[in-house]
Structures are given as structure tokens and as C-alpha cells.
Amino acid sequence: MMKMSDLVADYIMKLLDEKDGNAEIKRNELASDLGCVPSQINYVITSRFTPEQGYIVESRRGGGGYIRITRVTTDKRVVMMHIINSVGDSISSAEAGAVLGNMRERHMLSDYDYLMISTALSDKSYTAVTQNVRDRLRAALMKNLLVTVMMLDQ
């Protein structure tokens, strides 16, 4: 038997396939159609339709609200820039590891690049600085390293 989160993800994927990579859904209506709670829809979207996985999610709240999911073009440089821009000003070691792991799985990073960047971003590399500074420094370094990898891959 398929899990509810798999059913929701499959439904959204079918919508994306039918509509050339752009799906607009109403969370409450989708939850009602699939027989789940709206928070299940949120969970699936935030865990399976992320920039790291090649999606842009926009939402609009209110009575006429919607969630728009766009499949990002498969152009590696465009996806890399979305990932770099999604890092923000601060990132934990665990978050950086998840992003890098997803990038490696999608063949956006070689095993060598993955290992080198992971080592540079690990907490062991930042023991001399406080956690707040550590996460900000890690974000800046991660962005610069990913830009460098992107430029070298041309």
C-alpha cells in the first residue's frame, strides 16, 4: 500500500507532467480530493519539491490562495544558481550536508567536489568560531564554492 505522502507527491508530479512543468493547486481542495489533511500537502511540498530537487514553489494565502510549483529547467547552471540563492545568509552543517547530498544524487557535483565541499563546510572546520558566526561563514563559503564549481564546469 502506498503512503499518503507518496500519493500526494505522485498527484503533483502528474499535474506537473500534464501542464509542462507548472502546477497550481489549492491546498484545501487537494487535501479534500485525496482524503488527507492540508498539513500533509505542506509536508510533501516542503520535503519533495525544493529548489535543491529542481522546483520553485510560490504560495499565495487567503480565500483565492494557491500554491504554484514550477519544475526548473534542467539546465545545470540555472539549477545551481537557484540552489546558491536559496542558501541565504546562514546555514547549519546538517542543512549544508542535505543540500550537497541532493546535488551529488542529481549528478550536479562530482564525488570529489562533494567530499571537498562537505569537508570545508563541516563543523570540524569552524571550531574556533561561535555557532552564529559559524553558520554565516559556512553559508558564504558554500555559495562561493558552488559558484566556483559551476564556473569550472563550463
Residues 72, 55: contact at Cβ < 8 Å? Answer: yes
13-60: per-residue pLDDT in tens?
A: 899 889 888 999 988 889 899 999 888 888 899 888 887 677 889 888
pTM above 0.85, yes or no: no
64-123: per-residue pLDDT in tens?
A: 678 999 987 667 787 788 889 889 899 999 999 989 988 887 788 999 999 999 999 999
What lies within 8 Å, CB to CB, of 153 at 6+ separation is 76
CATH number attached to the domain at 4-71: 3.30.56.130
**8 pLDDT higher than 70:** yes
- In the chain, DSSP assigns E strands to 22-25, 55-60, 66-71
User: Domain locations in the chain?
Assistant: 4-71, 76-152
